[in-house]
A and B are shown apart, each in its own frame.
Chain A
Amino acid sequence: MTYTPQLRELMKKVEETRPSRVGVHFPRMSQEERQDVLQKFHPDYIEDGFRELKVGVNKGSRLPNEMADVFESYSPLRDVELDLTADPDYDVDVLIIGGGGAGASAALDAHAAGAKVMIATKLRFGDANTMMAQGGIQAADKENDSPAIHYLDVMGGGRLENVPELARALVMDAPLVIKWLEDMGTMFDKKEDGTMITNHGGGTSRKRMHAARDYTGAEIMRTLRDEVYNQGINVVEFAAAVEVLLDENGRAAGAVLYNLETEEYLIARAKTVIIATGGSGRLHYRGFPTSNHYGATADGLIMGYRAGAKTIYADSIQYHPTGGAYPPQLLGLLVTEKTRGLGATPLNIKGEQFVYHLETRDVESSAIIRECEERGMGVPLPTGITAVWLDSPILELTHGEGTIERQLPAMLRQFQRFGVDIRKEPMLIYPTLHYQNGGLLIDGNGHSAVENLYVAGEAAGGIHGTNRLMGNSLLDIIVFGRRAGRDAAAKSKDMPGPEKLTLEHVKAYHRELEEAGAAGSRVGPILLPHYTHR
């Protein structure tokens, strides 16, 4: 009995309206309605949450305040004496920073191309948003679908602001990625004859969402990780990169790593460096809860930026429409989009649907915020916030009993742990901070504006424009991880190792910060969020 008597009373409305909602399609918004709800309610449009960046190559660009705080900060190495002329602790062809899906994919392809590869990661290998991605991975691998149709969905969903070259690479590689994963023994949902079972996600025009129950990212991550270990690739855990090293010609040449356990700094020299550090949800923009991994603190963004990489759409943040709102232990936790993909709809306090359930994430989130904030039709919770219902029990009516247990086992288990049976009781949800749409700008090979510096995964930007569709992130980490890995390996073959390692760019950045009076006492990357005594 987790829901309070007041909530149980309100839940009756949902039960009352349920039979009349089965099989009824709520209309999709027009383009004008979408634009209107976004501008009035999406946090990206609320100006006091942003400020102009005072330093670096993108000086003057708009960033969320919390990200700007990280960008306008001193390096943790400011008062640290490092001997960069000594023999490095590690010396490799390709240094990959980050042990999520992008890093693992990059490592496998760079290794396959014959490079000496090393992964340095802040926490454990596999501690990443990849592990938490539930709903699926997109690829146009059905006869009624094509990469071009996928491309149109990606561009339209991204408000046509995507870098066309990157969106093209994403969709064209997609079926190849699925094949690669299938051959590696990834356990996708399939029919008897091997046909991949695919569904819709928000903003898709074809059913191209491949899933592994609702543990899709976890299944992909554990398979990639297992293969990295099988290949004998060196993985150094609890070694957070804090700064990219450059050579005397301004090319990437390694990184300074911080051993979180012994609190020592280590030098990794490399011919090429791939930043695959993921997102930044743990910066909690505008105080939003997040669905992100503990380590998602924008480390790669600030390191890459100090080294001279450019940002793109760093002010574009994705709020996932269905974050857990109650019980409080589930606050911010991702309720997979697969739940809506299967047909669960958001409902207001009267048990009425107020938005088509598969609008793109930005529009869906904005509509939920509007329902609660402007229309006052949200469900008040004992914790003091408001939320809307997500009618999961309707799935048992529309798809048959047992659907939730089969298709959404992770969701079922998580809510059960805190006393809610989503087969019988609707969920309470509110948008949660989910994804960094932008990041460091790359080209089709994952290369950044800095020579020999690559970026892959959520840290990279441009692929999704200013709004990513479900299932394109698991895809992008592998597409661009592999592309970066292959290109970095090829490049490092024809290249002698860097002669001299420097951190002069960091000193220059510090001078710029001081001239702009921008940093105060802040230090970044922050590496870990601080939740003590909250």
Chain B
Amino acid sequence: MGMGGNIRNLIAKRAAKEIENGMVVNLGIGIPSLVPNHLPENIHVFFQAENGVLGMGSTPLPGEENENLCNAAGYPVSVRPGASYFDSALAFGMIRRGKLDITILGSLQVSEKGDLANWIVPGKRVPGMGGAMELSQKAKKVIVLMSHTDKFGNSKVVKSCSLPVTTPDCVNMIITDLAVFEIKKDGMLLTELMPGVNLEQVKEKTEATFTLSPAIL
């Protein structure tokens, strides 16, 4: 959404802090795909791709790609020791069974209750839900990375989603170019400001109702 590479990387870097050794993590396309670049060397994470890979590694160097080893977006990846291949039914079997620790997704809107709207703009863009419903409904933790506002300046962190909801009440954390929010049972909490951002800016650009964590006060 018109965000520079620097900001996209700041968001990805913040998301990487949520990942721990041994976790099973699925990454969406866009900013989530930058997250592995910000992980410390000494942790071994099992990145899952819903086309049937568990244990993806880094992007291969030009010339070393394998056309039959791609992520769910169709781009070449590598595998780390301990990786496995399986069919699409099993890929989603492990997702539905709750084996994913974290899914990191992009979104069009997120509501203060944690409703995710990330798959359809009626009358404009109807690409299909792909695996977004399984991932958001079944992962233990759902983290959304997105720009805080759309290209018209409207808040994407909203009271109630105006776009069709992919999965209600599923998002646990939102990381934007302005702030980090956690969504709890009793509401949304502003927990961090991104570097160089002040509270007034966040208040001005957020439609959702939120409270401030002690760290912000």
Do A and B interact with each other, yes or no?
no
**CB within 8 Å of A: which residues of B?**
none
Q: Which A positions have Cβ atoms within 8 angstroms of B?
A: none
